[in-house]
Every structure is written in C-alpha cells, then in structure tokens.
Amino acid sequence: MILEMIKAAIFSILSNKLRTFLSMLGITIGVAAVIAVVSIGQGAGESIKERISSLGSNILFVVPGKIGGVGGRIAQAVGDVLNEDDAVKIKTYCPSVSHVTPVLQRQYNVQHGDVNTISSIIGVYPEVFTMLNLEVEQGRTFDNNDNGRRVCIIGYGVKEELFGEKDPLGESLYIVTPAGKQKFTVVGVLKPAGQLLMFRPDEAIILPFKTAKNRIFHTKQVSLLMVQVEEEELTAQAINELDAYLFAKFKDENMYNIISQEIILSTVNETMKILNLTLGGIAGISLLVGGIGIMNIMLVSVTERTREIGVRKALGATNFHVLLQFLVESVAITVIGGIMGIVLGAVAGKLIGNIMELSVQVTPGVVLVAVGVSTMVGLFFGVFPAYKASRLSPVEALRYE
Amino acid sequence: MIKLEEVTKVYRMGTEEVRALDGVTLWVDEGEMLVIMGPSGSGKSTLLHIMGCLDRPTGGKVFIDGEDISRLSDAQLARLRNSTIGFVFQQFNLLPRMTAFGNIELPLIYAGIPRKERIRRVKTLLKRFELENRARHKPGQLSGGQQQRVAIARALANEPKMILADEPTGNLDTASGKTVIENLVRLNKEGITVIVVTHDPEVASKGHRIIYLRDGRIVGEEVK
C-alpha cells in the first residue's frame, strides 16, 4: 500500500514538474545552506584547532590584561606592564618553566632593492627556535652572541617575496620605522611552517631581542612572554607558579593573563559552537521558509484536486488513505529537495573550502540530519493540507467544479 | 439489499433550509434494476448518494444488507463502498492524469489486492469492455463512450453487489448511450443490483421498477 502511495506521489509530482520543482527549490536551498555552513564551520574549526595544537600543549603565553577585555583603551593601559625583566624573573622563580622569551611583535614595511612588503617583525631570545620547533632551510639561527647585532632570520614567505630565486644569505634588507630605515643582514631562512596561533613564521622576520628593542621598538615593554614548561604534565603547576609570580608583582589579577593551549582550545570551541549555531539557525530559517512554500503548494494542490479526492473516496479510499496520499507527496517533495540540497551544499562547501583553503568535510552525520530534517519539514508542513484533504465530504468533493 | 426508512436530508444554504429528501421509504431487492426519475432538484442524486454511502441522512435509517449504516464509521463506510458498491457518474469522473488501466486499478489498490492479481483483473475487465488497446490512454485521449466504459469497468473492479449510476448516458451520443445501457442490463442479468438515476426514457424502459421523485418525496411507482 505504502509503495503504491509513493508511486502515486511521484507520479503526481512528475505531472506538475515546474510547480513542484519551484516549491522543492525552497527546501533544496535551505538544506544546501545548512550543509555548506555546517561543513565549512567544521572545516574551519578543525583547521583552527590544528594550528593551536601545533604549538604543543607545553607552551604558555603571558599577556597583559584580560583577553577580549573591556576595550582598547584599557588593554592599552595594561599593555605597559610586562618587560624583559619579567622573563628573567619567571625563569628564576618558576621551577617548572624550562624556557622563557619576551616577545616584541609589530608589522612594518620591509624593503630589499626595489621590492617591498609588509611583514611581522618579531624580537625574541634564541630559545624561540627550540620552543616552537622552528628550523632553518638555509643559513643558521642566531644565538646569544648575535644579541644586539643587525642580523635577522626570515620566514619562507618573506624570502619568496623579497628575494625570489636569489640567494638571500648575506643580503641586506631595510625595515622602515617611523624613526627611519634600519638595515639588517639575512643570516637564515626558515622552513615553511604554516600558522602557529599567534605567529606566522612564514611571514615574519625574526630579530635578536636586544636588536629589535634598541633598533625598532625603542621600548622597555614587551608584547607578551612566551613560556615553555619543562614537561607537559607540569603545565597546570607551571600556570600556578606563573600566577603566583604575576599576582605578587601586580596585586591585581586583571593586569595579566596566562593563556594555555587548552584555554584557547576551549574558547575556540565555545566560539565555534556559537558561530555554528547562529549560522545553522539562519540556514534553518530558510528551511522553515521552504517548508511554508511546500505547505502553500500542497494547499493549492488539495483545492485543485478536490474532485479527485471525491472520486477516490467514492471508490473506497478512507480518510487515512487520502491523508497518507498527500502526506507522502509532501514528504517526497521535501526528501527529493533535500537530496538535491545535500549535493548542492556539498559541492558549494567544497568549492568555498578550496577558496578558503580549508579541509571541508561533509560527514555522514550532517547528511543524515539534513535528510531527517527535510523529512520532518515535509511531514510538519504536509500534515495540515493532507488533513484538510482527508476531511472532505465525498459528496461535496464530487460536486466541486 | 437496501432499505430506507423515512429518510430525510436537509441542507443549509445560508440561512435557508433545503429539504432535499423528505421522508423517503424504499426497498431495493437483490438483483433488481431500479430506475429513479424526476425533475431537476427533486432529490434523485441525493437519494443515490445516500444509498451509495457517500452521504449520511439527516433523519431516518438506511440499511444495507441488514446493517444500519448510521452505526458505521467513515472508514467502515469507505470499505463498504469499496467492496460492495460501484459508481458510474454522468461526468465519468475518471482521474485525468491516470491511464485507463490506472483508473480501473484504483479500487483494487484501496482493497489491498496484490499487484499480480490486480493486473490480471484489470486486463480481464479491459478485454470485457473492448478497451484492450486503450489501456495506456488517458481519459482525454478517449471518446465519451470509451470513457464511460472505463468508468463501468472501474465500478466492477471489486465485483460489487450493486452498481449505482447517476445519469450514465447524460453526456453521451445515442450510440454510445445505447452501449452503456446494454452493459448495465447485462450486468443486471448477471445478478448485480443496478440503480439508475436518469431522464432518459430509453434507460427507464429497461428497469424492473421505476420510482418518481418530486420535492424529495416518492410521488409514483411503476412496476413492470
């Protein structure tokens, strides 16, 4: 019986192709939007998590003020609190910490010959290379003997941009600061490293800390402190030690913040969840609109086919048969629309993923949910028209012109 | 077979009450061919609809095979229509988007008969009404006479005990009308109770009994 109903529904859908297709489109677009948004969201989330995890869970950051705090001005005010001295003291007072480096970081214009680009100038201790597992492809890293000297290690992207095919070792480049141009000699090129949360080594120029401080930044304050914990298991303990030191110094826990991979991950997870829910919700609204379209077309169809309903009842169709017939029809429309939407959404997701360089995955879970939801939409918005059809009195339906 | 006791049917048209049937008492025997005649608006079709369980009376009782149909649910009435009653309409009332085959098959689907058996029965019916090479045609591609033959075949699909026909020749030319009448007479001879509403004296002449209706009442009866 159900099989006959489905056949009849498909038959009826086929005999009104354009109209059915148009009302199907609402569902298709809705489902496509959900699929695309969710899979792009998942892809983006994965890639962000990957970047965070690539830091290693034993790296901590000490940053001034509260993350996402009360606004720019306050962040600025508390920005003047950390300095190089803190790095040295942390190393002394926090036994779980194996390495610390202060970090100076800002964007500047960089020139070589007639080529110029904007890149991130980072001033750090030599420890940073071991802490972040950065390796050179050419030349060398710097050590403490270089501190104060005008040498720099450039990221792979910077090399490509400024020097192209030319060998950059021993070449000089200029960093343009408001106080004037500063000349540096390239002594090393980093291997491509991708994104490391707060840094993009590929697009960075790394200077010895003292050099950066004296030649470029001209300030005692540092952007942040990067801390490596002796062993991963000691991370929690290290956070406590850092907190003890910093609280002793500032007497105010709002003046500083300790960030671990875990904290960032959980923040990112929260943010992604809210983002996905919001986007999913918006996409869901388009499904709702699509559903209303289906209901509308089904109501029109019921009115148009009043006489048919009368005939069917005269031939022995029960109210339930008629209800089922129209319900199967609306569900068939939404399911077919949903399947088209899945295909469309997957393709759109992949395309957008390629453009955004994300690995977009259409998981079976998403597909299942999409099919489930479109079936539910069909049922929900089909019930009223179908019920209306089933309640028609056979005589009145037969008389209907 | 069918027994009506003091049946009334009242419609409400706005504020006005229309008494389509006003105390009709009637007995139809098994195997009988009954003709109902009367002017337009006399309640003929209403009477036929009530006998065919398409409508419920406002007052009085209707028995089919001894069963009081006012006690039956809508679903039970639908099953009764499906299994024991076949309808033939003036407008044919074939489903326009279905083929002749599909139209005849429909009551069998509602009866829950398996596909193989359905195909067998529909083919037999098509053959019987000389419609074999019209099986894949839609109603729009058939002549009036052919459409009415499809409709009769459809009415017979579940081997009903009675056929109710509402002006079956009303939309047909004389020759096609004649074929339809012949078919109805033949079915009656095979033992099926036939009840026909008509204006057509040709049809009326074939009945065992004619009742005349006026203003919802039986005003005359003629037995042959």
Instruction: Decide if A208 contacts A127 (C-beta within 8 A).
Output: no
Q: What is the pLDDT of residue A251?
A: 84
- CA nearest B111 in A: which residue? A316
Sign of CA dihedral B140, B144, B146, B147: positive
Question: Regarding beta strands A224-229 and A59-64, do their DSSP bridges make them parallel or antiparallel, or are they unpaired?
Answer: antiparallel
8 Å CB contact of B97 and A395: no
B52 lies within 8 A of chain A by CB: yes
Average pLDDT, chain A: 86
Q: What is the pLDDT of residue A306?
A: 94
Lowest average pLDDT, out of A73-82, A287-296, B93-102, goes to A73-82
Is residue A282's pLDDT more than 90?
no
8 Å CB contact of A318 and B158: no
Q: Which residues of A touch B159 (CB under 8 A)?
A: none
Which fold, B32-41+71-223? Rossmann fold (3.40.50)
Q: What is the pLDDT of residue A266?
A: 84
* Segments of chain B with pLDDT less than 70: none
Task: Calculate how close chain A gets to B93, using CA atoms only, in Å.
Answer: 7
DSSP label at B167? S
d(CA B191, CA A63): 99
Domain map (residue ranges) of chain B: 32-41+71-223
pLDDT in tens, B21-38: 999 999 999 999 999 999
Mean pLDDT score, A236-256: 87
Is residue A382's pLDDT more than 90?
yes
Q: What is the pLDDT of residue A69?
A: 46
8 Å CB contact of A318 and B74: yes
8 Å CB contact of A307 and B79: no
Give me the residue label for tokens 């090399």: A159
Q: What is the pLDDT of residue B30?
A: 93
pLDDT in tens, A354-373: 888 777 877 888 888 888 88
Nearest Cβ partner for B55 among A308, A319, A395: A395
d(CA B24, CA B59): 10
8 Å CB contact of A320 and B75: yes
pLDDT in tens, A59-76: 888 888 754 444 544 445
The two structure tokens encoding residue A159: 């090399």
Cβ neighbours of B214 (radius 10 Å) = 14
For chain B positions 17-36, those within 8 Å of chain A (CB to CB) are none
What is the count of residue pairs from A and B with beta carbons less than 8 Å apart?
A: 63
8 Å CB contact of A314 and B93: yes
Q: Bridge partners of A138?
A: A189
- Give ipTM to 2 decimals: 0.94
Q: What is the pLDDT of residue B76?
A: 94
For chain A positions 285-314, those within 8 Å of chain B (CB to CB) are 307-308, 310-314
Mean pLDDT score, A115-139: 90
8 Å CB contact of B106 and A312: yes
Mean pLDDT score, A238-256: 87
pLDDT in tens, A134-182: 889 999 988 888 888 999 999 999 999 899 888 999 999 999 988 889 9
Task: Calculate how close chain A gets to B48, using CA atoms only, in Å.
Answer: 11
Instruction: Decide if A315 contacts B82 (C-beta within 8 A).
Output: yes
- CA nearest B114 in A: which residue? A1
Task: Calculate how close chain A gets to B79, using CA atoms only, in Å.
Answer: 6
Q: Which residues of B touch A393 (CB under 8 A)?
A: 55
Between the alpha carbon of residue A39 and those of residues A154, A193, A335, the distances in Å are: 36, 26, 20
The two structure tokens encoding residue A21: 């297709």
Q: Which residues of A touch B79 (CB under 8 A)?
A: 316, 318
8 Å CB contact of B82 and A315: yes
Is residue A77's pLDDT more than 70?
no
Q: Could you tell me which of A391, A393, A387, A394 has the C-alpha nearest to residue A327?
A: A387
The two structure tokens encoding residue A91: 């190393």
| b/e code A196-213 from CB counts within 10 Å (16+ = b) | bbbbbbbbbbbbbbbbbb
pLDDT in tens, A299-344: 999 999 999 999 999 999 999 999 999 999 999 899 999 999 999 9
The two structure tokens encoding residue A263: 């904290």
Q: What is the pLDDT of residue A80?
A: 62
Residue A223: pLDDT band (50, 70, 90) is confident
Q: What is the pLDDT of residue A230?
A: 85
Is residue A261's pLDDT more than 50?
yes
For chain A positions 4-63, those within 8 Å of chain B (CB to CB) are 4, 11-12, 15
Rounded to the nearest 10 degrees, the angle between the axes of helix A306-314 and helix A319-356 is 130
Best interface-test mutation with A: which of B109, B122, B152, B158 has the largest number of A CBs within 10 A? B109
